[in-house]
């Protein structure tokens, strides 16, 4: 994968001036970009039950149509005015997953997935807002993109129960994108992409959990692990003269009782790392029919024709505080001084040759770590 041609910018200046603040179009950011998947392959993915896809079309009377996949055929949608959107294509296409490596200046946990759309002439989803940052890379074709600034006077339109749009906005970017152009749109900036000709767009979407998501999943973690079962206590209680009153002091005590739970750093860093590595879409996990033993995995190392490969789209990270752990797809693998380096490589999600693997395998703990990851189906032998 080539790297982004930033022109006058650098990743540092991009983060300082644009990230979460201003939209940006980088023309020819990837000059020879050909796309990572063909339109007919994308259509094939949209025929699969476990892959989330939608077609959004605007009819001759200007009303909007939304249909959800899996699709059997696309004939009825005609030649123009529609877009096919397929979620998390990076879970099924390794080349598409590799687009994420263009953004290594931002931690991997911040990236969610790569959505790919195919739009016919005049196709688009209408002007709308997204609540997360997105980079949209133009593959084949041309598309007119308009992006505006956040504007509280815009009204929400629901032209179809499954489609949220906004009223017309004043664009600050209004340009035609061609293969290799990269558009950055911060959250809540209205945007609209209308295809000029058959067009493929690759949207690298970022994840920004809401407090609702965080608190509810933290509560699930407490329940699952039977944590936080201790009860509120108030040994220092004194006589009240107004038993009907909930006093500020009591509110604060209950609040600190709750916050103390978050302050448990071990629990919190495990919880948040698990949360951030959970895939929001189906993954093609490759669980071996029969679990490998550590001896078998050791045996593979002499075969330099094979390599160890992570499942496409799998989310991983390492966290060193307060304990050293590797997280893959919401699972925890405890690391030690001996396994930390292998843990980093596994979290990096790049295929590992047997030669590379061999350098770790003098230590049994490393063999065991690799064996567990293979047996979970998160990595496989290729």
Residues 122-141 that bind ligand SIN (CB under 6 A): 124-125, 130, 134, 136
| Residue sitting closest to Co ion (CB) | 130
Residue 204: CB minimum distance to ligand SIN, A: 11
Residue 145: CB minimum distance to ligand SIN, A: 8
Binding mask 196-235 for ligand SIN (x = CB under 6 A): -----x-x--------------------------------
Whole-number Å distance between alpha carbons of 380 and 366: 16
| Residue 65 and residue 56 in contact, taking contact as beta carbons nearer than 8 Å | yes
**Cβ closest to ligand SIN, residue 149 vs residue 227:** 149
Residues 142-201 that bind ligand SIN (CB under 6 A): 191, 193, 201
Residues 274-303 that bind ligand SIN (CB under 6 A): none
- What does the binding site for Co ion look like in residue numbers (CB under 5 A)? 130
Structure tokens at 72: 């059997």
| Residue sitting closest to ligand SIN (CB) | 117
Structure tokens at 360: 């770790």
Residue 124: CB minimum distance to ligand SIN, A: 6
Whole-number Å distance between alpha carbons of 237 and 239: 7
**Cβ closest to ligand SIN, residue 42 vs residue 272:** 42
**Cβ closest to ligand SIN, residue 180 vs residue 343:** 180
- Residue bearing tokens 């209308």: 194
DSSP letters, 42-100, are HHHHTTSTTS-EEEEEE-TTS-EEEEES--S--GGG-SSSEEEEETTGGGT-HHHHGGG
Residue 83: CB minimum distance to Co ion, A: 11
**Cβ closest to ligand SIN, residue 193 vs residue 313:** 193
Give the one residue of 81, 83, 146, 277 binding ligand SIN; rule: CB under 6 A.
83
Contact flag: residue 58 with ligand SIN (CB under 6 A): no
Residue 144: CB minimum distance to ligand SIN, A: 12
**Cβ closest to Co ion, residue 204 vs residue 311:** 204
**Cβ closest to ligand SIN, residue 132 vs residue 257:** 132
**Cβ closest to ligand SIN, residue 90 vs residue 371:** 90
- Residue bearing tokens 């023309």: 27
Cα separation of the two ends of the chain: 20
* Parallel/antiparallel/unpaired status of strands 307-310 and 379-381: antiparallel
| Residue 313 and residue 349 in contact, taking contact as beta carbons nearer than 8 Å | no
Residue 7: CB minimum distance to ligand SIN, A: 23
Contact flag: residue 315 with ligand SIN (CB under 6 A): no
Contact flag: residue 316 with ligand SIN (CB under 6 A): no
Residue 128: CB minimum distance to ligand SIN, A: 7
Which residues are CB-contacts of 152 (< 8 A; sequence separation ≥ 6)? none
> With CB cut-offs between 5 and 8 Å by kind, which of Co ion, ligand SIN, none does residue 335 bind?
none
| Residue 357 and residue 308 in contact, taking contact as beta carbons nearer than 8 Å | yes
**Cβ closest to ligand SIN, residue 35 vs residue 343:** 35
> With CB cut-offs between 5 and 8 Å by kind, which of ligand SIN, Co ion, none does residue 310 bind?
none
Other beta carbons within 10 angstroms of residue 40's beta carbon come to: 9
**Cβ closest to ligand SIN, residue 28 vs residue 144:** 144
Whole-number Å distance between alpha carbons of 183 and 135: 6
Distance of CA 340 to the CA centre of its chain: 25
| Residue 37 and residue 116 in contact, taking contact as beta carbons nearer than 8 Å | yes
Q: Where are the beta strands (DSSP E) in the chain?
A: 24-26, 53-58, 64-68, 82-86, 111-119, 134-138, 143-148, 156-160, 163-166, 171-177, 182-185, 191-195, 199-206, 307-310, 316-319, 325-328, 331-334, 352-353, 379-381
> With CB cut-offs between 5 and 8 Å by kind, which of Co ion, ligand SIN, none does residue 274 bind?
none
User: Which positions touch ligand SIN (CB under 6 A)?
Assistant: 83, 85, 117, 119, 124-125, 130, 134, 136, 191, 193, 201, 203
């Amino acid at each position: 994968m080539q790297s982004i041609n930033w022109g006058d910018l650098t990743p540092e200046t991009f983060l300082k001036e644009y990230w979460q603040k201003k939209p940006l179009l980088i023309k020819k950011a990837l000059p020879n970009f050909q796309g990572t998947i063909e339109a007919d392959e994308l259509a094939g993915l949209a025929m699969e039950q476990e892959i989330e896809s939608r077609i959004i079309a605007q009819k001759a009377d200007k009303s909007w149509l939304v249909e959800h996949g899996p699709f059997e055929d696309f004939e009825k949608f005609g030649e123009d005015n529609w877009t096919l959107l397929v979620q998390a294509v990076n879970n099924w296409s390794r080349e598409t997953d590799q687009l994420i490596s263009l953004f290594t200046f931002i931690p991997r946990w911040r990236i969610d997935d790569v959505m790919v759309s195919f739009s016919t002439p005049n196709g688009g989803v209408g002007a709308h807002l997204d609540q997360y940052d997105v980079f949209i890379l133009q593959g084949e074709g041309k598309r007119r993109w308009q992006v505006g600034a956040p504007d509280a006077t815009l009204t929400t339109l629901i032209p179809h129960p499954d489609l949220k749009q906004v009223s017309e906005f004043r664009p600050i970017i209004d340009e035609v994108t061609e293969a290799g152009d990269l558009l950055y749109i911060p959250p809540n900036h209205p945007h609209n992409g209308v295809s000029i000709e058959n067009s493929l767009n690759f949207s690298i979407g970022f994840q920004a959990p809401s407090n609702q998501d965080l608190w509810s999943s933290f509560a699930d973690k407490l329940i699952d692990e039977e944590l936080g079962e201790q009860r509120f206590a108030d040994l220092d209680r004194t006589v009240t003269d107004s038993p009907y009153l909930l006093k500020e002091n009591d509110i604060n005590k209950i609040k600190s009782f709750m916050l103390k739970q978050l302050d448990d750093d071990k629990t919190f860093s495990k919880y948040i790392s698990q949360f951030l590595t959970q895939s929001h879409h189906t993954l093609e996990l490759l669980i071996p029919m029969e679990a490998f033993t550590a001896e078998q995995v050791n045996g593979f190392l002499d075969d330099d024709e094979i390599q160890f490969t992570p499942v496409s789209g799998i989310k991983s990270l390492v966290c060193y505080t307060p304990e050293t752990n590797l997280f893959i797809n919401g699972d925890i693998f405890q690391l030690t001084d001996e396994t930390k380096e292998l843990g980093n490589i596994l979290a990096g999600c790049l295929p590992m040759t047997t030669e590379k693997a061999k350098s770790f395998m003098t230590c049994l703990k490393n063999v065991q770590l690799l064996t567990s990851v293979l047996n979970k189906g998160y990595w496989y032998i290729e």
